[in-house]
Amino acid sequence: MGKFARMHIFSRARVVLMTAAVALTTVVAGCETPPAPPPVVAAPPAPPPITLSNALVERASAYRGYMARAGAIDPKFQNGDQIQSSLKVGVAYEPKQLLSGVTAYAAVIALQDPAFVGAVRSFAADPTQRQQVIAQLVADPAYAVGFKGSDTAAGLVIDTLGAEGLKVYTAGKAVKQAAYDVQHSSWSKASVQDRDGRLAYAKTMSAIPALGDTSDVAALQQASVGAQPLSLTPRSASGPYSPVVIRGLAVAALAALGAAGDENLPTIEAVMAEPNSAMCLNMGKLNLYQCLAVSKPHYEDVFCLGQHVLMDTGQCVIKASGSPMPVEPPPPPRALPEKTSISQGGGAGRNSRNAKAATKKPVTKK
């Protein structure tokens, strides 16, 4: 066998051995257990977005609109028609809705505080923890005071609501003073036309919920979710806080947890209920009805408007905010008129007709 023949045979054998080795490796590899795939880690669920019921935003806007209109009433009345027009503006709120609007607006204001919202949102990622916090807030609205940033959120609410209440209260003082000043004009002493009709109108408008301005509703909705914040100056306020402020913080916290939408409205309304402030507004309305029922000349209607529409309502809002009432100067001392029917040296009881008649009655023996 020649040299080249032997080389050819060797090459073929080498190829056969390599092919067999590759095949054997493939078979062995095929028999091995493949490595386990890496575990799939599920991403945590995204926290729910901040939500505040459209109905609550509507009430907040209606409250803001009324306070702006009432605070702008001009005390410089020139005739009875101007007085009646101002009365129509002032009486046009339903107490329950106004109070609900105060608390809803307090929630919108509290949602403007980033520290407060961030502290509440830290509990929104874990579903179990989120439900626990929601249950705590519903059971006890004061739970909201425990979140970081609640002091500055409360300061925003107190300052904003207090300023609006003070504006209406101050406007009422000016109108009440006008009830005395306007008496220099003869027209103010003329009798009000259709007195029963204006009283009926006041009662009717006090039972009809007001509507918010469309653009204002949109602005408050954007502010509640942080898309377009309100321009407010933060201030830290220490407790204790008024019930309305506490309930406003609680509603804001529930909104930050995604639990204050339209589907949650019955629960949120229960959280917002505050009987003391409701009583204050209801008493203001009752006093107004009594005042209008006995008022006859125009200047007396001015008094009803100033005292029982504007001052009483403004005072209720100031108290609801927890702000201090304005300090009023003491009234100037007035000289009491001399009682000419009382003789010198004798007391009123001794010289009264009833006392004299009583001395003539026989004493009944027991």
In angstroms, the CA 264 to CA 244 distance is 19
In angstroms, the CA 303 to CA 149 distance is 43
* Residue 313 CB contacts under 8 Å (≥ 6 apart), including other chains: 70, 90, 93, 98, 168, 172, 281, 284
- 145 membership: H or E segment, kind and range: none
Report which of 184, 35, 49 is spatially closest to residue 111, judged by C-alpha positions: 49
> Alpha-carbon Rg of the chain, whole angstroms?
38
Report which of 115, 144, 315, 98 is spatially closest to residue 241, judged by C-alpha positions: 144
3-class secondary-structure state, position 132 = helix
Long-range contact list for 218-221, CB < 8 A, 24+ apart? 220/57, 220/60, 220/61, 220/64, 220/105, 220/108, 221/52, 221/54, 221/57
pLDDT in tens, 81-113: 999 999 999 999 999 999 999 999 999 999 999
Interhelix angle for 265-272 vs 54-71, to 10°?
Answer: 40
- With beta carbons less than 8 A apart as the criterion, state whether 312 and 320 touch: no
pLDDT for 240 equals 95
| Segment 187-212 mean pLDDT | 95
Residue 40 DSSP class: P
- With beta carbons less than 8 A apart as the criterion, state whether 265 and 160 touch: no
pLDDT band, very low/low/confident/very high, at 44 (cuts 50, 70, 90): low
Q: What is the mean pLDDT of the chain?
A: 86
Model pTM?
0.78
pLDDT for 185 equals 95
Residue 41 has pLDDT above 70, yes or no: no
In angstroms, the CA 90 to CA 71 distance is 9
- 89 membership: H or E segment, kind and range: helix 80-91
Residue bearing the bigger pLDDT, 326 or 182: 182
Q: What angle do CA 178, 181, 183 make, to 5 degrees?
A: 110
pLDDT for 356 equals 44
pLDDT band, very low/low/confident/very high, at 47 (cuts 50, 70, 90): confident
